[in-house]
Amino acid sequence: MRDDLVLRVVGRLLIPAILLFALYVQFHGDFGPGGGFQAGVMAAAGIIFYSLIHGLVATRRIVPDWVVETMVAAGVLIYASVGLAGILLGGHYLDYSVLSSDPIHGQHRGIFWVEVGVAVTVCGVMLKIYYMFASRGGAED
Amino acid sequence: MAVAVWAIAFTRNLFSVVVLSGVYSFLMATVLVALDAVDVAMTEAAVGAGVSTVLLLAALRLCKSEEAKPAHKPWLPLAVSVSTSVLLVYGAWGLPDFGDPEAPIHKNVVPRYLNNEVDVPNVVTAVLASFRAYDTLGETVVVFTAGAGIIALLRRRKKNPDNKGGGA
Amino acid sequence: MLAHFTNVITVFLMVAGLFIITARGNLIKKLVGLSLFQTSVYLLYITPGKLIGGTAPILSPAYTVYSNPLPHVLILTAIVVGVSTLALGLALTVRIREAYGSIEEDEILALDHSVEDDEARESH
């Protein structure tokens, strides 16, 4: 599919928009529909779209395997360490109110980091699954 | 949606089955918007129609894309399905009416959620990340585990001698 | 009847998924049936949360009636977990295909039986 001009041009237009929209969904999740799960899936879908057009090898150059595998684990660790930060600051596990001097602000901070963790893990797992299936079939460009 | 389901059940070409299930996911997403579940609809559209279609196609590429003619007549499964559905519909008559504001589901913990204690306008995000943070941690771990399982199942050991970390 | 129409739809989808899982031998078809079954569960959770005249649960001074946010949270995570488990199932299918050369349940069972028969004959 590499030589298809229409696909390449449309992809070039759409992929940045998809990734940007994923970030919007991530950080605007407090006020509108959205959050870590959706943002992670959308970012992964954007990268998978790129790889459908330009091939797996080109995608692996941009987002290499070790980055994806690190993302899979890092998201869970971010989430868990937000909980631990609550304990260290004198609260319960996953209690966000102590993360800042103002409980409401602390809640916002906690929700933000938890959503980041979710998005990173989901995006990493989706990409890893796709890489695994796509690289299985042998010589694909 | 019923047409899509019918077609999925009786089409033998797996490629069309996968595309039909993508269509079905989009229809499901519109239904979810009509039911006020915008967050869920967004996820369903991105996951059901996007990622899972791509994954099914990727798996199809590794397998045969034509289903064999069924060896048995489907009378026993049909009988089981029909009797299950009769039982379930009978049971559904005992549930509260659709849209009933007095239903128990709206009475227990939900008024507290809608009280906006954490000052986040999107209640779904607030409940997801704050009130029910343990649930979400568990779900994230499940997703992580599924990823690890797939790495363990599909990793090629011989071709990547310098890439030893993780599963398998 | 109308009050329970949504439940009837849910039951129809659930049973269609059940039928595909039990009646079809192809493993990928079974997985598609499983995800149909799963979407019926989404409906089962989401429909009781809807209030007539309610809006999506995003707080704003303009509205007072909101649909129930709790099922949305549960199903939101269920969808993502669902796709992960679907992918796990597909991975298993691919491995089965590599080991048996087939993804039809009947053929796989026949292969297993013939292997058992051979072993039984050798031990005699």
Residue A24 lies in a domain: yes
Give pLDDT, residue C117: 81
- To the nearest whole angstrom, how far is the Cα of A141 from the nearest Cα of chain B? 14
Give pLDDT, residue B168: 38
Inter-chain CB proximity C36 and B5 less than 8 Å: yes
- Residue B134 is encoded by which pair of tokens? 């343990």
| Banded pLDDT at A140 (limits 50, 70, 90) | very low
Report the pLDDT averaged over residues A5-9.
83
C62, pLDDT greater than 80: no
Residue A122 domain boundaries: 5-136
Give pLDDT, residue A92: 78
Task: Choose between B158 and B72: higher pLDDT.
Answer: B72
> Which candidate, A99, C12, A107, C98, places its Cα nearest to that of B129?
A107
Give pLDDT, residue B160: 47
> Chain A interface residues facing chain C, Cβ-Cβ under 8 Å?
31-33, 35, 37, 40-41, 122, 125-126, 129, 132-133, 136
Number of domains in chain A: 1
Please give the residue of chain A at the shortest CA–CA distance from C56.
Answer: A33
Residue A26 lies in a domain: yes
Taking the Cβ of residue B111 and every Cβ of chain C, the question of whether any pair is shorter than 8 Å is answered with: no
Taking the Cβ of residue A96 and every Cβ of chain B, the question of whether any pair is shorter than 8 Å is answered with: yes
Q: pLDDT digits over B13-43, tens only?
A: 778 888 888 888 888 888 888 888 888 888 8
Rounded Cα distance between A7 and C116, Å, is 52
Number of domains in chain C: 1
Give pLDDT, residue A4: 77
Supply the ipTM of this predicted assembly.
0.81
Q: pLDDT digits over B94-150, tens only?
A: 777 777 777 777 777 777 777 767 777 777 887 877 788 888 888 889 989 988 888
**Chain A neighbors of C83, CB-CB under 8 A:** 126
> Which candidate, A69, A70, A77, A42, places its Cα nearest to that of A128?
A69
Taking the Cβ of residue B69 and every Cβ of chain A, the question of whether any pair is shorter than 8 Å is answered with: no
> Which candidate, C52, C77, C79, C46, places its Cα nearest to that of C65?
C52
| Banded pLDDT at A104 (limits 50, 70, 90) | confident
Inter-chain CB proximity A133 and C91 less than 8 Å: yes
Residue C24, phi then psi, degrees to nearest 5: -100, 140
- To the nearest whole angstrom, how far is the Cα of A118 from the nearest Cα of chain B? 6
Percent of chain C past pLDDT 90, that is, above it, reads 0
> Which candidate, A65, A69, A49, places its Cα nearest to that of A8?
A49
| Banded pLDDT at B164 (limits 50, 70, 90) | very low
- Cβ–Cβ under 8 Å, residues C22 and C105: no
How many Cβ atoms from other residues are within 10 Å of residue B91's Cβ? 11
Report the pLDDT averaged over residues C39-54.
83
Taking the Cβ of residue B132 and every Cβ of chain C, the question of whether any pair is shorter than 8 Å is answered with: yes
Question: How many whole angstroms from its chain centre is CA B125?
Answer: 19
Give pLDDT, residue A1: 53
- To the nearest whole angstrom, how far is the Cα of A116 from the nearest Cα of chain C? 15
- Report A:67-86 residues touching B (Cβ under 8 A): 69, 72-73, 75-76, 79-80, 83
Looking at every residue in chain A, the average pLDDT score rounds to: 83
CATH number at residue C33: 1.10.287.3510
Q: Please report the sign of the dihedral spanned by the C-alpha atoms of residue B149, residue A124, residue B166, residue A58.
A: positive
User: Which region among A80-94, B116-130, C4-18, C42-56 has the lowest average model confidence (pLDDT)?
Assistant: B116-130
> Which candidate, C31, B30, C105, B141, places its Cα nearest to that of A118?
B141
Highest-confidence range of A2-11, B82-91, B93-102, by mean pLDDT?
A: B82-91
Mutation pick from C90, C93, C96 vs chain B, by most beta carbons of B within 10 Å, is C90
Which amino acid is located at A120 in the chain?
V
Cβ-nearest to A32 among C58, C76, C77: C58
Q: pLDDT digits over A35-81, tens only?
A: 888 888 889 989 988 888 888 888 888 888 888 888 888 988 998 88
Task: Choose between C42 and B2: higher pLDDT.
Answer: C42
Residue C79 domain boundaries: 2-123
- Residue A72 is encoded by which pair of tokens? 């899979």
Cβ-nearest to B143 among C8, C68, C84: C84
**Chain A neighbors of B146, CB-CB under 8 A:** 125
Taking the Cβ of residue A125 and every Cβ of chain B, the question of whether any pair is shorter than 8 Å is answered with: yes
**Chain B neighbors of C8, CB-CB under 8 A:** 89, 92
Report the pLDDT averaged over residues A113-128.
89
Give pLDDT, residue A34: 76
- Cβ–Cβ under 8 Å, residues A31 and C56: no
SS3 per residue for A11-25:
HHHHHHHHHHHHHHH
Inter-chain CB proximity C23 and B70 less than 8 Å: yes
| Banded pLDDT at C3 (limits 50, 70, 90) | low
| Banded pLDDT at B1 (limits 50, 70, 90) | low
Residue A79 lies in a domain: yes
Q: What angle do CA C40, C46, C48 make, to 5 degrees?
A: 110
Give pLDDT, residue B165: 42
Q: pLDDT digits over B35-72, tens only?
A: 888 888 888 888 888 888 888 888 888 777 676 666 66
C84, pLDDT greater than 70: yes
- Residue C90 is encoded by which pair of tokens? 């597909």
- Residue C47 is encoded by which pair of tokens? 């429909």
Give pLDDT, residue A94: 76
Beta bridge partners of C58: B122
Residue A141 lies in a domain: no
Give pLDDT, residue A3: 67
Inter-chain CB proximity C58 and A33 less than 8 Å: yes
Q: What angle do CA B70, B74, B75 make, to 5 degrees?
A: 155
A138, pLDDT greater than 60: no
Highest-confidence range of A105-109, B56-60, C35-39, C67-71, by mean pLDDT?
A: C35-39
- Report B:7-26 residues touching C (Cβ under 8 A): 8-9, 14, 17-18, 21, 24-25
